[in-house]
A and B are shown apart, each in its own frame.
Chain A
């Protein structure tokens, strides 16, 4: 136990004095703070600019009054339509013009866009460059329909008040999700799965290369004679787990703290849904990170002990990485299909190799009975312990072998001893 703690401390020291580790953590924190404080900065900058004196009305400039853009209407009933458009299009100055003039002014950029009316219910929308988020024609459609309906009603003798009442009729509705609201959970589940995936992958491979480099630098010759393989394996894996967890907590913590500070400046439903994550889910994430990480890190450690040189490592880690990527893909596909309770996901959420990500996703995105969670976590925890001790045994065998990696039968034999 004492030896394990010494190894743990030494390995942890290795991470926290590693310039790359510190650098990446600091960079991540800076980026997150930067992103989270962006609305504050942009609000401040925006205020600064809008407080500048704007152009005087009637300048006759392209942008028209108050910096508004110009929208032209031409054709039949242009006046009425222009009046109606002036009310619905915020930020536009709506003018009437004839078609040729409208075309010319839109082409040379004097006007932003133009509506050439052919009949009360048909028009041509003229715009120089059609933007991705140009919803003007949708607004125009509904405005024209309303105008048309109002005209028809008026022609049938309805008075203006009744028409107004009919036209302003609206439906109210509420949605109540009785289980989990997937549209709310989707984004943070996505982010957390990505985080789980990346941290396990990166730190797992670090364990592998750590072991392999000890072997190739022959520090192993001394280590195996002074420390027990179990202490070494657990020391290394738990150290990198702690380092990974530290980074995860720092990154998510920074994001949450920054969001708390800048909350009032955020006006984005996606961001709000991400930070509206229930704290229990964060707890589950940590739990599944710990167990999932340990499981994979032990496997990566074994793989590292099989490599004689660092160059061999890439091919050797492949099988472990493939299992992990497969689990990730299954989860991602289920997540984006919107149905996380498929048979495949159910099975995956109990199989230890895939359960960290799939059970977590199911908990986040649907209702999972408590007993299922308990079974899944217990299976996972049991296999972590089992794989951990098996890994230490194989490791003892692996680290002494140079040259060709041991055959599978030799590994099984070592496990039996």
Chain B
């Protein structure tokens, strides 16, 4: 399945919130939707989920306009919140049923997920008696229990301790392996870099850059080597740059990469050498502005 945003436009009053948004995500892929606060991520997600219609453009599934009756969405909103005064199990079942799941299937699925996320003991507790991290896990169940085709996770890792973050990672990987489309929206670049094959960076309602992360990184000039060596100071001296504290030096290549590496390796004791690629953070800072 291929989910595609095609020239989506949206304004609220005089304010142009989304301008010609195009990107696509495929099954079995995690997609990172990035952007600074107010860049239009949540609006894009809401248009995708039909909370409000787009002013122009359309959302396509496998090239055809989306038929929402056939595609289920799972959503973990950035603003977390369920019914704080209600018991956990009934409200999870309720939300699952709202997505069209039969009651018996919903109860079975909710129980399965409560066990999977080690939350079964809280089944009959009121939501507001739980810690923030545990509430987050309960919220995650609302995004997964109805077995959605497209899972949208807005800042999924915020508020989780390392153990729970690991648990969530496993769950997300599992969903990706099962061929779901997982749409991430986060400011924690390390997680996006770890999971996402493709990204789109939004900047003030426009697409800054989109594509496969690997290709984007490759599109940057590959003219600098990162060299790790005990002789870092000498190398730095030769190339007229400053050495990093931990024996790392960045060497700008003038000419053939292989020749430069060969020359370095012949003259210095080299531990590691690689071509410098931009990190996602670098790309984000450049495009999100």
Overall SS of chain A's interface: helix
A13 touches B75 (CB 8 A): no
Beta-carbon contacts under 8 Å, A184-216 to B? 214
In the assembled complex, the Cα of A3 lies from the Cα of B97 at a distance in Å of: 8
For A18, the closest partner residue in chain B by CB is: B85
How far in angstroms is the closest Cβ of chain B from A171? Answer: 69
In the assembled complex, the Cα of A13 lies from the Cα of B49 at a distance in Å of: 28
**Size band of the interface chain A makes with B:** 20 to 34
B residues in contact with A404, CB < 8 Å: none
Beta-carbon contacts under 8 Å, A155-201 to B? none
Question: Could you mark each residue 203-236 of chain A with 1 if its beta carbon is under 8 Å from any beta carbon of chain B, else 0?
Answer: 0000000000010011111111111000000000
Task: Say if the beta carbon of A2 comes within 8 Å of chain B.
Answer: yes
Contact A222-B51, Cβ < 8 Å, known A217-B81, A217-B83, A410-B13:
no
A219 touches B81 (CB 8 A): yes
How far in angstroms is the closest Cβ of chain A from B69? Answer: 12
- The residue in A6, A217, A225 that gathers the most chain B C-beta atoms within 10 A of its C-beta is A225
B77 touches A13 (CB 8 A): no
In the assembled complex, the Cα of A14 lies from the Cα of B90 at a distance in Å of: 11
Contact A221-B99, Cβ < 8 Å, known A6-B94, A396-B52:
no
Beta-carbon contacts under 8 Å, B49-97 to A? 49, 51-52, 73, 75, 77, 79-84, 86, 90, 94-95, 97
For A232, the closest partner residue in chain B by CB is: B98
Contact A2-B100, Cβ < 8 Å, known A13-B90, A396-B52:
yes
Question: Could you mark each residue 306-327 of chain A with 1 if its beta carbon is under 8 Å from any beta carbon of chain B, else 0?
Answer: 0000000000000000000000
In the assembled complex, the Cα of A6 lies from the Cα of B97 at a distance in Å of: 7
Overall SS of chain B's interface: loop
Task: Say if the beta carbon of B142 comes within 8 Å of chain A.
Answer: yes
**Size band of the interface chain B makes with A:** 20 to 34
B49 touches A225 (CB 8 A): yes
How far in angstroms is the closest Cβ of chain A from B90? Answer: 7
In the assembled complex, the Cα of A221 lies from the Cα of B155 at a distance in Å of: 14
Q: List 27 A–B pairs whose Cβ atoms lie within 8 Å, in order of A's numbering.
A: A2-B100, A3-B98, A3-B100, A7-B98, A10-B90, A217-B84, A218-B77, A218-B79, A218-B81, A219-B82, A220-B81, A221-B77, A222-B82, A222-B95, A222-B142, A223-B98, A225-B46, A225-B51, A225-B75, A225-B77, A226-B75, A226-B95, A226-B99, A396-B52, A400-B46, A400-B51, A400-B52
Give chain B's interface residues, CB within 8 Å of chain A: 13, 46, 49, 51-52, 73, 75, 77, 79-84, 86, 90, 94-95, 97-100, 139, 142
